[in-house]
Amino acid sequence: MSERPNILFIMSDQMVAALTGAYGHPVVHTPHLNRLAEEGVRFDAAYTPFPLCSPGRACIMTGRHASAIGAWDNGSLLAADQPTFADYLSRADYDTALSGKMHFVGPEQQHGFRMRLTTDIYSSDFSWVKDEWIAIKETGGERCEEVMGQRRNYNAAAYDDQCVKIDQWHNCLAYDEETHYRAVEYLRAQGRRRDRPFLLCASYHHPHEPFWPPQADWDRYEGAQIDLPEFPANLDDTYSQMDKNLNAYHGTRRHNLRSEEGLYRLRRAYYALVTYMDRKVGELMQTLEQSGLLDNTVVVFCSDHGDMLCEREMVQKRGFYEWSCRVPLIARFPDGWKAGTVCDTPVNLIDLVPTFCELAGADDLLPHDGHSLLPIIDGADADRAIFAQAHEAVGMPCVMARQASYKYTYIHGYGGQLFDLQNDPGEWNNLCGMAEHTSVEERLRGLVLAHFDPEKMAADNLASLYRRRLIAQVMADQGRTWCHHPQYDFRKGASDQYFA
């Protein structure tokens, strides 16, 4: 590998690591991710810093924890004074380009990238700020069910059997096709130029809902053995207060999420969309090879978060269970360094900022919260702890800490959760309060409180919501928007247009 390799950063949206062939799934067809893992490093304990699109991506871009940059929810501003890995690499004379989704909120829509090759798929102003977020926060999460009982909710509807559609063209497929076309064309152009190294971020929407796969991908799973969730009789007793609030917010009890036929169709459609995404990875790799770039390009693949897919009768993301918070992360190095390696050390996607900078020789970073993955791959910092945050829809600050095989969830004002993932990979046995696990619980709780101030987080979050609601109202009255998406009608709610 040369001292300054190109970097191709491929990001999917809402992909569950365990539902890929690269992570050992026997049914889901991902030959290109499999190849990437065989030729690179697979991280088996990689986590998003925030299991939600916009704040998760803001943390990934900046290498900062969510509370450090005010990334509270999907309507939070990513301030222009927060340097990103695109800023650092641009300053290091890399050509930096973004094709696809990044869900930046605010008038700055490039955040260090020299150019954006597409618009964004979602709005970029404060129209996403919701009154229920404020109502839930004002009571510290105590009245989430009451608040959401008075409001229409769309989140669980996408997981209903009737929302799975096959071979129906829609805006999200169109968006990913354009994202992919622009990324491929950029790589071809770089193959001709080669005047300086590049960073290309190719960021796709799928396998995020709507679960409307192309016919060929759906047909691949005809008659396939598709595992369905199991619902123990005491399921409600296993829910934390965080879980209860998320279920109320998502409206899970307003839809039948236990229909075996519906769950089969849902999972089949999801498998198909994972395969669709895998094909895009393969075509990008093929373009690198055909353009003569593969031998000097680091390829990194990840997802911003996962998807509960009705496990525990829960949907979407926003939570810390493995299906939601653990993500695929694979890195291939052009000289075959550590090819076929599996890294079990817990890592966080905020680690990508210092990693990209180390690869690019950009060593003058401003304060950040991540650590380069390169020494971790080599075995350093094996006992490190990583963190994730969740704030939208739950009402109270929630922080996850993962160290070794233990995962601890701090829920401000309520009882926490502690799981030993080695002995309980399904996260069913909460060890909090058990005498034999007191030392682990106290250690991880202490790490959370040493790094974060929950009272300040709650106050800062609510103050931000008040400010953003006011500005959203003024912008709506004036007919203004920051959107990097000209077709978007900011006067309609995002969910009203989502399936348009």
8 A C-beta contact, residue 17 and residue 46: yes
Active-site residue set? 53, 103
pLDDT value of residue 160: 81
Length of the chain: 500
How far apart (Å, rounded) are the C-alpha atoms in residues 120 and 9? Answer: 17
Locus of tokens 């003569």: 292
Per-residue tens of pLDDT for the chain, all 500 residues: 457 999 999 999 999 999 999 999 999 999 999 999 999 999 999 999 999 999 999 999 999 999 999 999 999 999 999 999 999 999 999 999 999 999 999 999 999 999 999 999 987 889 999 999 999 999 998 888 888 876 766 578 889 877 899 988 999 999 999 999 999 999 999 999 888 999 999 999 999 999 999 999 999 999 999 999 999 999 999 999 999 999 999 999 888 999 999 999 999 999 999 999 999 999 999 999 999 999 999 999 999 999 999 999 999 999 999 999 999 999 999 999 999 999 999 999 999 999 999 999 998 999 999 999 999 999 988 899 999 999 998 999 999 999 999 999 999 999 999 999 999 999 999 999 999 999 999 999 999 999 999 999 999 999 999 999 999 999 999 998 887 654 434 334 333 333 22
Beta strands 6-13 and 198-207 are parallel
Residue-wise over 367-406: b if at least 16 C-beta within 10 A, else e? ebbbbbbbebbeeeeeebbbbbbbbbbbbbbbbbbbbbbb
8 A C-beta contact, residue 11 and residue 302: yes
8 A C-beta contact, residue 95 and residue 187: no
CA torsion 86-91-97-100 (nearest 10°) is: 20
Angle at 317 between CA 133 and CA 410, to 5 degrees: 75
Q: Count of alpha carbons within 13 Å of 92, Cβ hemisphere only?
A: 25
pLDDT value of residue 382: 85
8 A C-beta contact, residue 298 and residue 334: yes
- Write a three-state SS string for the chain: CCCCCEEEEEEEECCCHHHCHHHCCCCCCCHHHHHHHHHCEEECCEECCCCCHHHHHHHHHHCCCHHHHCCCCCCCCCCCCCCCHHHHHHHCCCEEEEEECCCCCCCCCCCCCCEECCCCCCCCCHHHCCHHHHHHHHCCCCCHHHHHHCCCCCHHHHHCHHHCCCCCCCHHHHHHHHHHHHHHHHHHHHHHHCCCCEEEEEEEEEECCCCCCCHHHHHCCCCCCCCCCCCCCCHHHHCCHHHHHHHHHHCHHHCCCCCHHHHHHHHHHHHHHHHHHHHHHHHHHHHHHHCCCHHHEEEEEEECCCCCCCHHHCCCCCCCCHHHHECCEEEECCCCCCCCEEECCCEEHHHHHHHHHHHHCCCCCCCCCCCCHHHHHCCCCCCCEEEEEECCCCCCCEEEEEECCEEEEEECCCCCEEEECCCCCCCCCCCCCCHHHHHHHHHHHHHHHHHCCHHHHHHHHHHHHHHHHHHHHHHHHHCCCCCCCCCCCCCCCHHHHCCC
pLDDT value of residue 122: 82
How far apart (Å, rounded) are the C-alpha atoms in residues 500 and 175? Answer: 13
CA torsion 319-322-326-327 (nearest 10°) is: -110
**Token pair for residue 351?**
């680690």
Residues 6+ apart with CB under 8 A from 170: 210, 212, 499
